Amino acid sequence: RYVDKGWVPVQRLELNRLVSGKFKLLILHSAFDVPTLPQRLTEAVQRVETDLRGKIRKTKPVKITGSVVSAFPPCISNIHDDATQGKNLSHEARFALASFLLKIGMSKEEVLGVFKAAPDFVRGLAEYQVGHIASKGAGEGYTPPGCSKLQGNSLCPVYLGTAKDPLCEYVQHPLGFYQTRAWEVSKGIDNHSWYATKKRKRQSL
């Protein structure tokens, strides 16, 4: 970085991202005075919470020995390449990549290593953000966005027509793609014609 008498020039996009990150930290660390709910309403909320807790399926990490980069879906592969090449990523792209890498078993330190080439990388802030994604307050961690969300954020190269993979039509989530492709890689399978007979199409791309 060029420093001129203690000043570091930054681009508008970098400034916006730094200010946004600072505001997020201020909000997350702020103490809010939340009024107490009426007793009847509190009891009703607790009943609903108890009922839902037994119905919600918890998402468990996808456990595959080692992270198989060649098994990444096109969306994650593109974002991963951009991150390691030091390109600026949108907030949506960063969240998708970090949450995906954590879910397939990478450590927080390994995930930070992927983002360290970013031009606006600040280790303290990055550690906090990755830690927040990993913990989600309840120890479960955030699940990465599904295909429809990635398509809506223009992060799906197959949807945009800049990439092609036959497996994408048979899954609706990057983790589903990774599980299948990692299994193929482990078995040495490179002929994907079996999708048509063993899987049901989930989307048309």
Cα torsion 158, 75, 151, 23 to 10°: value is -160
The pLDDT assigned to 204 comes to 82
- Give the C-alpha distances (Å, rounded to integers) separating 187 from 65, 67, 70, 86: 13, 15, 13, 33
- Nearest in space to 84 (alpha carbons), one of 116, 106, 41: 116
**Tens digit of each residue's pLDDT (9 = 90 or more) over 92-134:** 999 999 999 999 999 999 999 999 999 889 999 999 999 999 9
Q: Where are the beta strands (DSSP E) in 105-177?
A: none
User: Which residues are CB-neighbours of 69 under 8 A, at least 6 positions away?
Assistant: 77, 80
Which pTM value belongs to this model?
0.69
In tens, the pLDDT along 24-54 reads 777 766 666 666 777 888 888 788 877 776 6
Distance of CA 95 to the CA centre of its chain: 4
46-80 in b/e burial notation, b at 16+ Cβ within 10 A? eeeeeeeeeeeeeeeeeebeeebeebbbbbbbbbb
The per-type count for the chain, helices as H runs and strands as E runs, is: 10, 0
28/31 Cα distance (integer angstroms): 8
pLDDT confidence band for 80 (50 / 70 / 90): very high
